[in-house]
Amino acid sequence: MSTAVQNIISLDRVIHEPARLILMALLSSVASADFLFLLKQSELTKGNLSVQLSRLEEAGYIEIEKTFRGKIPHTEYRLTKKGQLAFEQYRKSLGSLFK
């Protein structure tokens, strides 16, 4: 099997889905972000965003922290170490495909 074919097969399918890919890209460049930020930047619907975030959390790629900003409940999302490594690996694999 050629390296190119291996690279395509080994692409992380959790990240490869476009909606999740954009969420991983957004979270990769910040320490954490809230739901509204991800909603505005990704232009997904609320329902779709919730589903995709849950899927990424199940895969262990993001973690959720519930805090308070003043008296208002606030939920922040951040990439885990595993998520960071998976995203870096995904980008490397993707880059090597088009060389």
In 3-state terms, what secondary structure has residue 80?
Answer: coil
Residue choice 1, 2, 13, 31 for contact with other proteins (CB under 8 A)? 31
| Contact between residue 42 and residue 20 where contact means Cβ atoms under 8 Å apart | no
69 contacts other proteins (rule: CB under 8 A):
yes
Residue nearer to other proteins on the CB measure, 2 or 29: 29
Residue choice 37, 55, 63, 64 for contact with other proteins (CB under 8 A)? 37
Between CA 78 and CA 31 the distance in angstroms is: 6
28 contacts other proteins (rule: CB under 8 A):
yes
Could you tell me which residues come within 8 angstroms of residue 83 by beta carbon, excluding any fewer than 6 positions away?
24, 27, 56, 59, 60, 61, 62
33 contacts other proteins (rule: CB under 8 A):
yes
Least Cβ distance, residue 63 to other proteins (angstroms): 14
